Amino acid sequence: MSPAKAKGAFLRHPLLWSLAAGQALGFLGCLIAALGRASSLSGLFAVSAGVGLFLVWPLLLTLLNLAFLIRRAKGAAARRAGQAVEGATLAAGALFTALLLSVSEIRFADWPVPLQNTQRHTPVASWGVPTVAVLAAVGLLGYLLLRLVPLPKLPPLAAVLAMAALYLGCGVCLLWIAQVFTARYWLLALFPANCLLIAAKAVRDLVAQWREQCPRREAAARYQTRPLLGQMAALLENAANWPWLAGLLMWPLLGVLVGLLALFGQAPDAVLRAWSETSDWNLSQQVSPPNVIYDEHYLCTVAAGGHRRLVKPLRPGCRHGYRVTVNRQLCVANAFEQLLEERTPRFHRLVRGLYDRLGYPVARHIRSPYLADAVYLLMKPAEWLFLTALYLFDPLPENRIAVQYPHRPLPGGYRR
């Protein structure tokens, strides 16, 4: 196939070709990574399909958006291809970002809330989400106005106002990228980066179309001498002035939106404080309390993360250098294991090996307080059995129970 035919085929079906390329590159990458490992072909296909769809394809869409920005699409087929890529980027980007947030360790919790294990607080303060959402929605509305309204029906002032709204949305994208961009969460910055490319392309295309369709109107506006209002009208009639006029109009538009949001209880400075009143992120100015560690390998440790009224946490403790929540059940189970290790070490190793094999597959799937409550109740008969054994074979059972999971090492050999 000649380069011209290949280009024509791509412009006719850009999404199909980009999806196929993403799947091919994803399979190739997974195949190279799997060389020398024993893996089934069906598993390799499944992994490569996910990599191609959720990683390679978004990167290809980013490259296409960048290419269409660098070189303006000429011709009906190229313009349709660019618009198809834009639509796919916005739809798939929003969906993939939502999915990524749902499966990540990020929780919609503000910085004072203690989290668990490796969870991270929300990158946008919960009380400032309405302000950020409104600015993003205004930016999307400005983009849709520029893209969907035909140029002959778009008044100059409406075009400048739409650009100003689009700039506000770009500001939200820049703040999001500055907040979350790290080596671990760089994928979260990919969608807003594409939004910036699409916004720049929309402004560039509109100005270029106006110049192509209304050259005489621009020339008359550029050289005609008028009073002050007439000169302002002349500025609006010249499409080359629209981008910087939109930059000026963006600030009063932002002030109007902030004033309206203040009527609904939003702080006037929520535009910036929504990003700084957080922790764990690049723009964060707060320090959250340390995360509580729930060891996903062990049922009693997981059960301590249930609802307080049921599991009755006693105090924080330390396990393998991490802060854990300690309740009575956890202390009794650990005290019994310590007694078992001291009196019958061989039997203890057998019990511990069996528990590690059976307990981990169950414990690692406990992700909610309700499931932790269920585990706590299921472990109650075992807790009573452990307590009976302690009172039968230990002269000071409550002392042994009380010293489990201390904050610092204790004398006398009680290390757990």
Range with lowest mean pLDDT among 8-22, 45-59, 399-413 = 399-413
Q: Which two tokens stand for residue 351?
A: 């019990």
Burial class (CB in 10 A: 0-12, 13-18, 19+), 36: exposed
Half-sphere exposure of 98 (CA within 13 A, CB side): 6
Of 173, 113, 118, 165, nearest to 144 (Cα)?
A: 165
pLDDT at 193 over 50: yes
Range with lowest mean pLDDT among 85-89, 145-149, 151-155, 183-187 = 151-155
Q: Which two tokens stand for residue 272?
A: 């910036």
pTM, entire model: 0.75
Answer yes or no: are the C-beta atoms of 133 and 166 closer than 8 Å.
no
Rounded Cα gap, residues 363 and 177, in angstroms: 35
User: Cα 213 from chain centroid?
Assistant: 42
Range with lowest mean pLDDT among 208-222, 267-281, 323-337 = 208-222
The pLDDT > 90 percentage for the chain reads: 41
Residue recorded with tokens 């302000």:
131
pLDDT at 198 over 90: yes
The pLDDT > 70 percentage for the chain reads: 82
Please enumerate, as own/partner, the contacts of 28-35 that have beta carbons within 8 Å and a separation of 24 or more: 29/56
Rounded Cα gap, residues 175 and 272, in angstroms: 9
- Residue 7, pLDDT score: 72
- Residue 40, pLDDT score: 55
Q: Which two tokens stand for residue 194?
A: 């594409």
pLDDT at 87 over 90: yes
pLDDT at 218 over 60: no
- Residue 320, pLDDT score: 66
Q: Work out the average pLDDT over 153-169.
A: 93
- Residue 216, pLDDT score: 46
pLDDT at 180 over 70: yes
pLDDT at 151 over 80: yes
Higher confidence at residue 2 or residue 315? Answer: 315
